Structure 1
Amino acid sequence: MNISKKAALPAVAIAAAAVAALQLFMYDSEIIIAQATLGSIPVELIAEILITVTLHAFFVLVIPLILIARKNITAGYAALALSLAAYVQLTTDLSLIGMAVTAIAFSILAVWAISKALEWVRYLRAR
Structure 2
Amino acid sequence: MSFTHVLAVAPVTEMEAAVAWYERLLGRPADKRPMPGLADWHIAPSGWVSVFQSPEHAGSTLLNLAVDDLDKVLTDLAARGITAGEVQPGAQRVRFAAVHDPDGNRVTLIENPVS
TM-score scaled by length of structure 2: 0.26
Q: Counting strand residues as a fraction of each chain, which structure ranks higher?
A: 2
Q: Which has the higher contact order (CA 8 A, sep 6+)?
A: 2
TM-score scaled by length of structure 1: 0.24
Q: Counting helix residues as a fraction of each chain, which structure ranks higher?
A: 1
